[in-house]
Amino acid sequence: MIHVRGLAKRFGTRVVLAGLDATMIGGRVTALLGPNGAGKTTFLKILLGLARADAGTVAVGDRLLDGSPEYRRQIGYMPQIARFPAHLSGRDLLGMLAALRGDDMAPDLSLADAFDLGDQFDRPLGVLSGGMRQKVNAVLAMAFRPSVLILDEPTAGLDPLACRVLKDRLLAERARGTTVLITSHVLPELEELADDVLYLDAGRAAWAGAVRELERHTGEPTLERAVARLLAGGAALAVA
């Protein structure tokens, strides 16, 4: 579970998060949406410890973020652009991360098998195609059995078959109680995966609730159309 209260962040005079309240529940997939500049990336960065909030509290699982890095043991993160050291292979990188984390359990490589990565997992990442690197990115995010998954445009660059494999895995993660937070511009894909929507506008949660509720609220039949309505109508429509 991720629990956020009064999260605020500004860069200079620009307010990016203005008292964000949100809760993402275990066993559900939450789609993080909103117009450009709404604060989505900053929110994700604060969750990951890459940026520091000016005010507010964040709890991941049973841990309140207090500057200690230990809470990140629970998080699997898939960045949008996976720029890994070119000379390392996926397996090298996984080995390095496993050694750094000092976990007792062996990494879970079932997703690498499902992607049929084969010897691609042992080739230097610099010679792999973008899609292949994205598969490695997904494998690394899930290798340490996280209870919270944060995925930034996870299917970018993946072929339809790999997309299906990844979505099946995400649904399996949801079934085992993982909290999944996902951003994507491919809304039909989110329609298939997401249970809830967290729609940010001007640094606040302009809509937070189930996908079906949002569709009912906007009178639109699909998530894509409902989000388009929110984008067109802004926060006024969202909180109406």
Partner 1 sequence: MNTILRLLVPAAREAVRGRWLLGLMIGLALLGELLLRFSGGGPTTLVSLLDVALILTPLAGLVIGTMQVHHAREVTELLLAQPIARGRLFIALYLGTALPLALALVIGLLAPFAWHGLLVGPDAWRIVALAAASGALALVTTAFAFIIALRADDRVRALGIALAVWLVAAVLWDGLILLIALGLGARPIEGPLLVMLAINPLDLARVLLLLGTDAAALLGYTGAVLQRTLGTDVGRLALGSALLLWLTVPPMVAARVFARKDF
From the list 6, 57, 87, 233, which residue makes contact with partner 1 (rule: CB under 8 A)?
87
Our separate counts of H helices and E strands in the chain read: 8, 10
Among the listed residues 6, 21, 50, 110, the single contact to partner 1 using CB under 8 A: 50
Per rule CB under 8 A, is residue 10 in the interface with partner 1? no
The residue with tokens 């990140």 is: 72
Among the residue ranges 23-31, 91-99, 122-130, 160-168, the one whose residues contact partner 1 (CB under 8 A): 91-99
Q: Does 69 bind partner 1 (CB under 8 A)?
A: yes
Stretch near partner 1 under the rule CB under 8 A, chosen from 17-25, 42-50, 207-215, 221-229: 42-50
Collapsed DSSP state (helix, strand, coil) of residue 17: strand
Torsion sign, CA atoms 223, 228, 234, 240: negative
Beta strands in the chain (DSSP E): 2-11, 14-24, 29-33, 55-60, 63-64, 75-78, 148-152, 179-183, 196-201, 204-210
Choose, by CB under 8 A, the member of 1, 18, 48, 59 that binds partner 1. 48
CB within 8 Å of 152: residues ≥ 6 apart: 41, 44, 78, 79, 80, 183
Least separation in angstroms between residue 51's CB and partner 1 is 4
Closest to partner 1 by CB, 11 or 212: 11
Alpha-carbon gap, residue 30 to 34, rounded angstroms? 13
Handedness of CA 136, 138, 144, 150 (dihedral sign): positive
Containing 144, the helix (H) or strand (E) segment is: none
With contacts defined by CB under 8 A, name the span among 46-54, 104-112, 128-136, 181-189 that binds partner 1. 46-54
Instruction: Name the minimum Å distance from CB 87 to partner 1.
Output: 7
Our CB check for partner 1 shows the closer of 51 and 202 to be: 51
| The one among 77, 121, 199, 207 contacting partner 1 by CB under 8 A | 77
CB 88 within 8 A of CB 33: no
Site string for partner 1, 94-113 (x = CB under 8 A): --xx-xxxx-----------
| Residues making contact with partner 1 (CB under 8 A) | 11, 45, 48-52, 68-73, 75, 77, 79, 81, 83-85, 87-88, 96-97, 99-102
